[in-house]
Structure 1
Amino acid sequence: MWGIWLKIFGAIALGIIYNTYYGGDTNLFFRDGGIIWNTLLDSPSMGFKLLFLTEAGDNSPELFQYVRHIYYYIDDSSFAILRVSAICSIFSFNTYTINAIFFAIISFTGVWSIFRVLHHLYPQLTRPLAVAVFYIPSVVFWGSGLLKDTITLGALGWMFYGFYFGIVLRKKIVLNILLLLLGAWASNAIKQYILLIFVPSALLWIFLQYRNRIKSRALRVILLPIMMSIALPAGFFAINQIAGEQSQYNIDRVAANAKINSEWLEYVSKQQGGSGYNLGELDGTLGNMLVKFPQAVWLALFRPYVWEAGNPFMLLSALESLFFLLLTLKLVLTVNPGKLSRQFVDHPVLFFSLAFTLVLAFASAITSNNFGTVVRYKIPFMPFYLAMLYVLRYRLKRTVKLF
């Protein structure tokens, strides 16, 4: 299948480009993972402890000689990635390209899982769904190499598959729930915000699923706002429970942390000559942040524009954004708004895709201030958004064309 080969190509291409153009985290992940691998060779007991028993930043004296050169030792999510790289090094003899291919395979298992779910729901759309899931260039490139994004994309797919087959369809419940939990654990360890966005989106799916089983149309209409009023607070509660009181994603802290992160990335972008943008001043309050929701979502979905691209990689992203914009307009401007909105209620997977896309798009844009960062942050929602457009086109216009 071409999907896995594209993943492997993306992993190798990213490694080459990072080593010749960018530099940065993929090299550091591999280097730091190599330190753990060398520790395993030097002292298997200490290597095992670093791999499985040590928390990021542990300053135990016996670990110092092994961890003092690990750049990402104090960061929990990064430390998780370099440990994955170290495990890969056991089989690759610490070879970057082979480690990157292992990462690509992990990612492929996730995107294949997403495709399996969508194809199970819409078997008529094999080609469009394959394009949406496997062939978006940014997802191939940023979601295949030795990076956090690669593992979290795989984990998202496991959650999606386990949720659909285990909870929605109740098939092979134990196995699929375990897969869901594995994906949730990996997401929570590396990019917790993906899990925090997935949970309320999935809750909305469940509410709509049960609502649609009610035979009385009048009762379904009455129950819809009631269910939404329950699902949304439940989602916020789930976010707070998963995030915990001290997490940067706790509702009480999210606006202040978004301000800090945005300012830091803007500063880095200016220092490195990056492609920055400005959504207006963030004052650290939730209200101020939410006011910027429409323009942030628009930016993540449909920008950078072609004329905002400052390098070949940004031009590729700009062309993707242009394609998304044209396909969206082609749908929205040619169908009945009432029929369009009913599709989201009647097909919970579409509502899930829309909710997941909008919230992650908002989070990606509001915390970045740099197009290069947004391009990476948004890859988890891109397959869902494009697949959603193709399903809507099929449902409303009976077309399976790619454009």
Structure 2
Amino acid sequence: MFYAIAYWVRPLFTNRFTEKYFVPALTVKFIGAIGLGIIYQYYYGGGRPSGDTFNYYNQSKVIYEAFDYSFKAGLKLLLANGELDIDTHNFASKISWYHSPTEYFIIKLAAFFGLLCFQTYTVIGLFFALVSFSGMWAMYRTFLKLFPHLYKEFAIAVFFLPSVFFWGSGLLKDSITIGALGWLFYGFYATFIQKKKLLLSGLLTFVAAYVIYSVKIYILLSFLPPALFWVFIENNNKIKNVAIRNLTKPVFLLIGLAGAYIGATRLTEGDRRYDLDKITQTSQINTIYLTEQVKTGSAYNIGIFDGSISSLLKVGPQAVIVALYRPFLWEVRNPVMLLSAIEASIFIFLTLRFFFKTGFFKTLKLISSKPILTFCFLFSIVFAFGVGTNSGNFGTLVRYKIPLMPFYLSALYIMQSYTKRPKKLVRLLKTA
């Protein structure tokens, strides 16, 4: 049924260059969703610490069973936000994450999909893969609006990185957040850069931002400042008069920074983990706990970020490096780490090759002169700093960092395109 729908809608969202990637990209998402369940069942033994795929599934079964008992009780649980009443109390007491909004959001979504497939784990995973794929295809189409001749390169960056389609496809938070991030990127570009179909694109932006806010707010916090800075650069570049453009640049910059700060503080106000007054303490707790408690050989320690300038200068570069380029091949302790290490090695190779080929200062100039490159690298660095300081071990890091990977690799491919000078004219591809 999923493939029938895919072949039916493919002509609506592809052209003659991209249609060949549509079904293969969906297929690897399905492989990732099924593979995730197999790995957790047979490699990890069906049981891992809280937060894993089977915990979401088992707790979503409670909602499914509630529908068997009473449609009213099941519907209340599906729409609940921690409330208790006589209809839901007996069922809610069996859901350990009932009062945890982020986890319960995923449980409710899994339960909804479960109603469509008799609560079958694998099919629920395929639904999550489908949601993820829809957002990532939107991300892919957004990149193509800017560089239509890089359809092959963007397909690799967005769909075919093993860590991304494995951890970003099954019954986990990561599938929903990376899909929502793709829709956010698509909607933001259409609303604030293209300024087209404002009502629809604005609605997409709001819904995607709300989903990320509900599940992993730190992704939104990482996206917001670079995105607003992107808007500033685009609008500033449209000013034809050089003198006026230079005069207004500081104003746009201040507005962008102020907007990013207000957005970040309002989004996290009162949040027990991500309020700006508490985020440093949270970072310290996470780092200490993970580096001291994980005994599998996959832990790393870059120090503790305490919010000071000195700790930022000390920990920041290490956090970015560990998120983008580690684990190194000699740090591999298990098959999952090997996969991540191979991808990190590819990132190192492509990055160093471009810097050596083009030159350090020319590369920085190219990044600063192209708004999309500025956005991609700023988002990647900000996000890498966040997950690098809060993970503490490579096992969690490989999952946490997947939102930045398509953007970082896409940026590398974009820079490469400026040095290759493709023979085919871009304008011909735009007419495809």
Classify the TM-score, shorter chain: over 0.9
Deviation (angstroms), 1:67:
1.8
Percent same amino acid among aligned pairs? Answer: 39
Structure 1 counterpart SS, 2:196: coil
For residue 8 of structure 2, what is the aligned residue in structure 1? none
Structure 2 counterpart SS, 1:92: coil
TM-score (norm 2): 0.87
Separation of aligned partners in 2, 1:92 and 1:267: 42
Equivalent position amino acid for 1:333 in 2: F
Deviation (angstroms), 1:288:
5.3
For residue 352 of structure 2, what is the aligned residue in structure 1? 329
2:76 and 2:88 in contact (8 A); partners too:
no
For residue 70 of structure 1, what is the aligned residue in structure 2? 95
Separation of aligned partners in 2, 1:399 and 1:317: 31
For residue 244 of structure 1, what is the aligned residue in structure 2? 269
Range with greater deviation from structure 2 (369-378 or 334-343): 334-343
1:21 matches 2:43: yes
Separation of aligned partners in 2, 1:288 and 1:88: 48
Separation of aligned partners in 1, 2:58 and 2:235: 49
Structure 1, residues 185-226: CA drift from partner, whole Å, max 9, x if none?
A: 100000011111111111011000011112234544554455
For residue 202 of structure 2, what is the aligned residue in structure 1? 177
For residue 55 of structure 1, what is the aligned residue in structure 2? 81
Structure 1, residues 334-376: CA drift from partner, whole Å, max 9, x if none?
A: 2144432333333211111111100110101101111111111
Separation of aligned partners in 1, 2:282 and 2:276: 10
For residue 262 of structure 1, what is the aligned residue in structure 2? 287
For residue 323 of structure 2, what is the aligned residue in structure 1? 300
Deviation (angstroms), 1:263:
2.0
For residue 40 of structure 1, what is the aligned residue in structure 2? 67
1:123 matches 2:148: yes
Separation of aligned partners in 2, 1:375 and 1:398: 34
1:3 and 1:135 in contact (8 A); partners too:
yes
Structure 1 counterpart SS, 2:274: coil
Separation of aligned partners in 1, 2:422 and 2:302: 37
Structure 1 counterpart SS, 2:300: coil
Separation of aligned partners in 1, 2:201 and 2:331: 43
2:286 and 2:392 in contact (8 A); partners too:
no
Separation of aligned partners in 1, 2:338 and 2:243: 50
- Cα gap change, 1:253 to 1:287, in 2 (>3 Å): farther
1:384 matches 2:407: yes
1:304 and 1:318 in contact (8 A); partners too:
yes
Runs of 4+ in 1 over 6 A off after TM superposition: none
Pairwise CA RMSD: 1.8
1:33 and 1:83 in contact (8 A); partners too:
yes
2:304 and 2:311 in contact (8 A); partners too:
no
For residue 214 of structure 1, what is the aligned residue in structure 2? 239
1:76 and 1:189 in contact (8 A); partners too:
yes
Separation of aligned partners in 2, 1:170 and 1:114: 17
- Cα gap change, 1:326 to 1:224, in 2 (>3 Å): farther
Structure 1, residues 296-338: CA drift from partner, whole Å, max 9, x if none?
A: 0011000000010100110010010000001000011221444
Separation of aligned partners in 1, 2:300 and 2:257: 31
TM-score (norm 1): 0.93
For residue 136 of structure 1, what is the aligned residue in structure 2? 161
Structure 1 counterpart SS, 2:65: helix
Equivalent position amino acid for 2:167 in 1: W
- Cα gap change, 1:43 to 1:268, in 2 (>3 Å): farther
Structure 1 unaligned regions, length at least 5: none
Separation of aligned partners in 1, 2:291 and 2:99: 23
Equivalent position amino acid for 2:222 in 1: I
For residue 57 of structure 2, what is the aligned residue in structure 1? 30
- The residue correspondences of 1:62-101 to structure 2 (distance < 5 A) are 62-101=87-126
Separation of aligned partners in 1, 2:101 and 2:290: 19
1:339 matches 2:362: yes
Deviation (angstroms), 1:20:
1.1
1:147 matches 2:169: no
1:255 and 1:289 in contact (8 A); partners too:
no
Equivalent position amino acid for 2:25 in 1: G
Structure 2 counterpart SS, 1:144: coil
1:212 and 1:346 in contact (8 A); partners too:
no
For residue 367 of structure 1, what is the aligned residue in structure 2? 390
Equivalent position amino acid for 2:298 in 1: S
Structure 1, residues 264-301: CA drift from partner, whole Å, max 9, x if none?
A: 2234423xx2510001244x434354231111001100
Structure 1, residues 88-115: CA drift from partner, whole Å, max 9, x if none?
A: 0010100000000000000001110110
1:10 and 1:141 in contact (8 A); partners too:
yes
Equivalent position amino acid for 2:264 in 1: I
2:181 and 2:208 in contact (8 A); partners too:
yes
1:395 matches 2:421: no
2:269 and 2:276 in contact (8 A); partners too:
no
**Paired positions, count:** 395
Equivalent position amino acid for 2:43 in 1: Y
1:248 and 1:254 in contact (8 A); partners too:
yes
1:274 and 1:372 in contact (8 A); partners too:
no
